[in-house]
Amino acid sequence: MNTNTEYTEYADKLISITGTHIVFYNYYFPTGKEKCVKIDDIGHVTVLEPTIRNGKWRIHGTGNFKIWFPKDSGRPGRDRIFIATLKNQWINIGFTAKDGEAVENLLRSKDLIKDKP
């Protein structure tokens, strides 16, 4: 990612979103390294209410081997959970943000949000 030619549209300690990428901080266990995903590699993002079933208490890792959650010790208190379905990977990414409303609005503007029926 070339940060000299693009600007950050949203950033907190959990994620960073630019016009072309989303960076998930503290993604890998146990190193805490980040994962950078091209926005073009995301099929869609689903916004969920935080519940036990949706990963509210999943601080880091996976509970079902299908969705991986980067580390967020504050996840139980977040207002929404995002699930990014990737086009070319079996594992999806479950993530949260400090300002869930701002991230939801930004992802909607990029036509990435898929509402649950």
Taking Cα atoms as reference points, which of 47, 42, 46, 45 lies closest to residue 86?
42
Please write the tens of the pLDDT for every residue from 54-92: 999 999 999 899 999 999 999 999 999 999 999 999 999
Taking Cα atoms as reference points, which of 67, 71, 112 lies closest to residue 90?
67
Is residue 98 in a domain?
A: yes
Is residue 3 in a domain?
A: no
- What pLDDT was estimated at residue 1? 46
Record the pTM.
0.91
Q: Determine the structural domain holding residue 99 and report its residue range.
A: 8-109
Give the pLDDT mean for 7-24.
97
Is residue 116 in a domain?
A: no
pLDDT exceeds 60 at position 51: yes
